[in-house]
Amino acid sequence: MLFAIMAIVLGCSTVGNKPEGSGTTFAKDALAPFIESGQLPGAINVFYKDGLEEIACVGYADVAAKRPITMNDVYMQCSQTKGFCGVTIAMLIEEGKIALDDSVAKYLPEFKELWVLESTTDSVKTLVKAKNALTIRMVMNHTGGFPFEISAKQGNIKGGGWSGGAPLRQTAAIAAASPLHFEPGTKELYSNTGIDIGAAIVEVVTGMRWEDFLKERVLDPLGMTSSSFWPTDKQLETQVEMYDCVKDAPAKYRLENDMQQRPYNGAHVFASAGAGLWTTANDQLKFYKMLMNLGLGENGVRILKEETVKELLAKSTRPKGMGGYSLGFTAPEEDTEDAWFGHGGAWGTNCMVNWHRKELKLWAVQLCGEPRPWDSARLEAEKKFFEYAIDNARADAFTGRVN
């Protein structure tokens, strides 16, 4: 069902320790035509540079109800959850409880003997025994050889997907009994399964459920009170609804996605480290600003040491030539002044930070499919903001100066 949409473009602010506003409306102006046409139902955009911040909440979280989108509306961040697992792994490495090149079998014995799918012909699968030891590094940077999801979490299974499926330890056991796509450490294949295995290791080492460890050591200390794998019914009253992108026409409402099935807080839901954490834009900013500030939250709470963020999260842990990926984050192979790290999610959310220049860019939507014609307009707005921030900083440097 297609719908007409009345344009609404709002400014919105963060809560708590608020930086100086930039006074700019680059993103709001760039996105306005797509809100007016209905192609973009609603979105949140944040640009930040060293104390200057532009926040735009445009359109609706629920078009039919005419409910404006806000910084406190909950949404599924999907694969952005991987970075949260990366932080918990980095914590245990920092504390000397695990090492990045430890064998996974040291903590999960079922991974001691693994098999690789060598070929498939005439419905006959040929397996060979894996030669390389599977390490924590490999499962966390997508070089372990695992499929995207185990069979129990395929989206075509009712109750499956990353909002359901199986507990983390069971996910790991199923993965260990399934053939790998290639010899561990020799190629890359994006995999929720590998990240879930990493979370299962956290459970073994800490004696806690991964989601409880995450809450105790990351979410609560940062004040991320709206982030959970089980959003409450009250929270879901403010959720950002999901839509399908439609070419040259208003977006179409979607009740659910196969990988994210209602009820979102039902008994079928298990915590998934590969994808599954609900959050708000205000909460997500707290997490990514902590990374931008090298482990220090805006509330003054230190989550990780500076060097831990620099060496384990902000740059690639893969062998050279395999592309950049660290522990749950897309990251550059070489760390430079222009290097960004962070992650995106399946429904279009994304957040990236540059710790060198204290820059951040956050985008929150709940959209399936293509096309997304606003992307180029948003990139142009991003360029204008960061150029403005640089010019503003230069102007401030001369304030009060006498020749």
Q: Is the pLDDT of residue 399 over 50?
A: no
Q: How many whole angstroms separate alpha carbon 358 and alpha carbon 339? A: 11
> 391, exposed or middle or buried, with CB in 10 Å at 0-12, 13-18, 19+?
exposed
How much is the pTM? 0.92
Residues in the chain: 403
Answer yes or no: are the C-beta atoms of 80 and 86 closer than 8 Å. no
Give the pLDDT confidence score for residue 165 in this predicted structure: 76
Q: Is the pLDDT of residue 144 over 60?
A: yes
Q: How many whole angstroms separate alpha carbon 68 and alpha carbon 323? A: 39
Query: Domains in the chain, please, with CATH?
Result: 1-71+373-403 (no CATH), 72-341 (3.40.710.10)
Give the pLDDT confidence score for residue 245 in this predicted structure: 98
**Per the structure block, which two tokens stand in for 304?**
């990780």
**Per the structure block, which two tokens stand in for 185?**
């450490």
Which of 288, 259, 264 shows the shortest CA–CA distance to 275?
259
Each residue's pLDDT tens digit, 290-320: 999 999 999 999 999 999 999 999 999 999 9
Task: Report phi then psi at 344, rounded to 5.
Answer: -115, 175
Each residue's pLDDT tens digit, 228-259: 999 999 999 999 999 999 999 999 999 999 88
Confidence of residue 398 (pLDDT cuts 50, 70, 90): very low
Mean pLDDT of the chain: 91
**Per the structure block, which two tokens stand in for 191?**
């995999």
Q: How would you classify residue 50: left for phi > 0, otherwise alpha for psi between -120 and 50, otherwise beta?
A: left
Answer yes or no: are the C-beta atoms of 343 and 81 closer than 8 Å. no
Give the pLDDT confidence score for residue 3 in this predicted structure: 35
Q: For the CA atoms of the chain, what is the radius of gyration?
A: 22
Q: How many whole angstroms separate alpha carbon 326 and alpha carbon 317? A: 5
Each residue's pLDDT tens digit, 26-84: 999 999 999 999 999 999 999 999 999 999 999 999 999 999 999 999 999 999 999 99
Give the pLDDT confidence score for residue 391 in this predicted structure: 87
Each residue's pLDDT tens digit, 85-95: 999 999 999 99
State how far the alpha carbon of 5 is from the alpha carbons of 63, 64, 75, 252, 363, in Å.
Answer: 7, 9, 21, 11, 21
Confidence of residue 12 (pLDDT cuts 50, 70, 90): low
Each residue's pLDDT tens digit, 194-241: 999 999 999 999 999 999 999 999 999 999 999 999 999 999 999 999
State how far the alpha carbon of 204 is from the alpha carbons of 148, 150, 157, 240, in Å.
Answer: 23, 20, 28, 35
Each residue's pLDDT tens digit, 336-357: 999 999 999 999 999 999 999 9
Q: Which residue has the higher pLDDT, 123 or 7?
A: 123
Confidence of residue 157 (pLDDT cuts 50, 70, 90): low
